[in-house]
Structure 1
Amino acid sequence: MEWLGKLFKNDEYRLSAPAAGKAVSVTEVKDETFSTEILGKGIAIVPESNRIVAPCDAVVDLMFDTGHAVSLKANFGAEVLIHVGLDTVNLKGKHFTVHAKTGDVVKEGQLLIEFDRAAIAAEGYDTVTPMVICNSDEFKTITPQIGTVVAEGEPVMTLKK
C-alpha cells in the first residue's frame, strides 16, 4: 500500500487509520471541540487496539508530554492531530507510552503511542480517538470513510487540494 498518505491522483492524498477499530464521524464524538469541527474536519476511531501509528509520512510537530495526543505535519502539508480518548490529558500520562518525540521524522505505519485502552476506560474515560486536519481550510475536500471497522493502516480519509 505504497500510495497511502502520499499523492494518490490529481492533488488527492489519503490518510490511513492510526488505530484499528470502528471508523465514525467526528461529529458523533461526545466533545464539542471535536464534534463541531472547531479544530478541523476529520474522523474518529473507536479503538479495538492499544496502538497509534502514523497515518502518513510526516514530522512530529508536537508529541504531548502526557502521550494522550500527537500533532503531525504531513509531507503534503496537512496538519494532523490525533487525540487518544476524551479528556485523557487528565490522566497525566498514566496508561500511555510514547514512542516518538517532537521533531522526529516518521513513516506511515510507524508506532507513535501505545495506550492501555481497558485501563483508560476503567477510569471512566471515553477512548474514542479523533483524527482531525487542523488546517482543513487549505483543502477543497476532506472525505472520511466512516461506518466500517478498519485495520491499522487502512485508508480512512481522502484530502484534495
Structure 2
Amino acid sequence: MSTTHVLAPVAGRAVPLQDVPDPVFSQGMVGYGAAVEPPHQVTEAVAPVGGKLLKLMPHAYVVMTPDNVGVLVHLGLDTVALGGEGFTAHATEGDVVTAGQLVISYDVPAIVAKGLNPIVPVVVMDEREADNVIAGESVLEGADIATGAHLFTANK
C-alpha cells in the first residue's frame, strides 16, 4: 500500500468534498478528496503532489505520482465553459513537477464576476473507496489553510 500526502494547491478555507455544491465532486463520482474555497484575488495554484503533469487544461490539471496516484485539481465549478479565460498556465503537459510548484495562475475575481463558484476540488482520480482518503485537520474543522499545507492523505 502506498500513502500519498496531498497538499492544498491554493490557500483559503478547507472544505469537505461532500460540501462542494456540485454532485460530480460531492458524491465522489470523479474520486475522493477535499476542496479549498479560495480568497477573491488572483491566486497561484500549485502541484498538490510531485509527479508528471499528466493533463493540463486551463481550468484543471492532473499530477500522476511515481506510485501511479493521479490527483486532480479543478479550479472552480463549470469553469471549462470559459475556454481558458481567467487562467494562465506556468507549466506544460508532460512536465515533471514537484509538490508546491506553480502550475496555473487563477483569476478568482474574474470567475466570480462570471457568476461561477471558484471553489477548488482536489481529488484522487478514480478512487472509489471514500475511506482510503483521510481528510486533514483543517478540512475537518473548516479552517483556513495555506498553499502547500497538508490537505488529505490518500492510501492505495
Q: TM-score, normalised by structure 1?
A: 0.87
Work out which of the residue numbers 51, 54, 58 in structure 1 matches 2:47.
54
Larger relative contact order (CA 8 Å, sep ≥ 6):
2
Identity over aligned pairs, percent: 36
Partner of 1:126: 117
Counterpart code for 1:27: Q
Partner of 1:29: 20
Partner of 1:81: 72
Structure 1 gaps of 5+ residues are 1-9
Structure 1 residues 123, 140: CA separation in 2 closer, same or farther (over 3 Å shift)? closer
- Write the distance in 2 (CA, Å) between the matches of 1:20 and 1:118: 15
- Secondary structure of 2:112's counterpart equals helix
- Secondary structure of 1:136's counterpart equals coil
* Off by >3 Å, runs of 4+ in structure 1: 137-140
Cα shift at 1:13: 2.6
Work out which of the residue numbers 150, 153, 160 in structure 1 matches 2:155.
160
Cα shift at 1:77: 2.0
Count residues with an aligned counterpart: 150
Cα shift at 1:138: 8.1
1:63 aligns with 2:56: yes
Counterpart code for 1:150: I
Q: TM-score, normalised by structure 2?
A: 0.90
Q: CA offsets, 1:5-25, max 9 Å, x none?
A: xxxxx8433111100011101
Structure 1 residues 139, 121: CA separation in 2 closer, same or farther (over 3 Å shift)? closer
1:151 aligns with 2:154: no
Counterpart code for 1:94: E
1:16 aligns with 2:11: no
- Write the distance in 1 (CA, Å) between the matches of 2:131 and 2:21: 26
- Write the distance in 1 (CA, Å) between the matches of 2:116 and 2:153: 29
